[in-house]
Amino acid sequence: MPGTVRPLAGLSLVAACALALTACGSSGGGSASPTASGTALAGQSITVYSGQHEQTVKALTEDFTKRTGIKVELRSGDEAELANQILQEGDASPADVFYAENPPALTVLDDKGLLAKVAPDTLKAVPAADSSGKGDWIGISARTSAFLAATGKGADTAPPASVLDLAKPEWKGRLGIAPGETDFAPVVTQVLKAKGEDAAKQWLKGLKDNAKVYDSNEDLSVAINSGEVEGGVIDHYYFYRMRDEKGAAETHATLHYFAKGDPGALVDVSGAAVLKHGKHQAAAQAFLGYLASAPAQTVIADSASCEYPLVDGVKGKPELPALDGIGTVADPAQLGDGKQALSLLQDAGLLQ
């Protein structure tokens, strides 16, 4: 989602709370079984804290209410700040559902025991690897990291073979990065897992030496499109959204994908969970069941978010390359809570 340097700073707060707040665990009851369609719960109301794309989530909640009669109070914001809010609110939080853009924010809440088990039938609707291994949250949609290059520039005609190449001296002054985006920390984690901490530190040092820093992926995409910098790492959908806003004639950037298996070929998921302390367990479970249904996945596939649906049989936008040709979904357990990646970004001087 759009952001400034605050998103990862917020996630740092989440990580700190996860370590420091011992009273955040819930004594609330477990999840209730959802009805098949949610219609038996008509008239109830749930509160959804959402860090996902606001327009798309609004369309989803409106469709859900139309189908079930369950009303939704939507509170949209940065996922890290919302997760931190849930930690601080504890059992008093009004949130029934947390819908996050990336797994680490969900992992922080999961580690504190704040998430209810997702209904088994809902979990079966998407591939098991796309959700929590413990069954505490479910994957909803996917996106991939990619390299956006100014069309015709050297970064376009000879794009980096690996995300690791961007730390090399030949990229000095040509590169842009948005390290404050929550989408960037999982890439750092992938480098950590693939190459180790020392190599990750050197990589980040190289990025700091080479790159101009931008507040958001949207700002970075615009800078690349204007030729201010030659290229940078973004999530794929920022390119498509920029193209749709500007039109093809005013789009002067090209998307390149890293080789399958490269740390930069990150396939990540958004996910949703029922809060254990929520007062409307059955209605919240019905909402997760809806998100994992073909109608909801079709809303996602057709939306301006340009993300990949996860339910079998629902296809994404035709211009999107096949996801399995880019990579496999990153193991949420390996992505963890993002704390180590945040620490390295701060140590490198890329975050405050």
Could you report the average pLDDT of every consecutive run of 10 residues in the chain (352 residues)? 40 38 32 49 96 95 97 95 95 96 93 97 96 96 97 97 97 97 93 96 98 96 98 96 95 96 95 97 98 98 95 94 91 90 95 84
Tell me the pTM. Answer: 0.86
Burial of 99 (0-12, 13-18, 19+ CB in 10 A): buried
pLDDT for residue 38? 57
Task: Give the separation between CA 275 and CA 125, rounded to whole angstroms.
Answer: 20
Task: Give the separation between CA 207 and CA 211, rounded to whole angstroms.
Answer: 6
The separation between CA 176 and the C-alpha centre of its own chain, rounded to angstroms, equals: 20
> Is there a contact between 351 and 4 (Cβ–Cβ < 8 Å)?
no
> Nearest-CA neighbor of 16 among 93, 77, 83?
83
What the chain holds in terms of domains, given with CATH numbers, is 6-141+270-316 (3.40.190.10), 143-266 (3.40.190.10)
Classify each residue of 197-222 as buried b or exposed e, where b means 16 or more C-beta atoms within 10 Å of its C-beta: eeebeebbbbbbebbebbbbbbbbbb
> Is there a contact between 14 and 80 (Cβ–Cβ < 8 Å)?
yes
Task: Give the separation between CA 74 and CA 72, rounded to whole angstroms.
Answer: 6
> Is there a contact between 179 and 143 (Cβ–Cβ < 8 Å)?
no
pLDDT for residue 60? 98
> Nearest-CA neighbor of 252 among 242, 261, 260, 267?
242
> Is there a contact between 266 and 330 (Cβ–Cβ < 8 Å)?
yes
3-state helix/strand/coil string of the chain: CCCCCHHHHHHHHHHHHHHHCCCCCCCCCCCCCCCCCCHHHCCCEEEEEECCCHHHHHHHHHHHHHHHCCEEEEEECCHHHHHHHHHHHHHHCCCCEEEECCHHHHHHHHHCCCECCCCHHHHCCCCHHHCCCCCCCEEEEEEEEEEEEECCCHHHHCCCCCHHHHHCHHHCCCEEECCCCCCHHHHHHHHHHHHCHHHHHHHHHHHHHHEEECCCHHHHHHHHHHCCCCEEEEEHHHHHHHHHHHCHHHCCEEEECCCCCCCCCCEEEEEEEEECCCCCHHHHHHHHHHHCCHHHHHHHHHCCCCCEECCCCCCCCCCCCCHHHCCCECCHHHHCCCHHHHHHHHHCCCCC
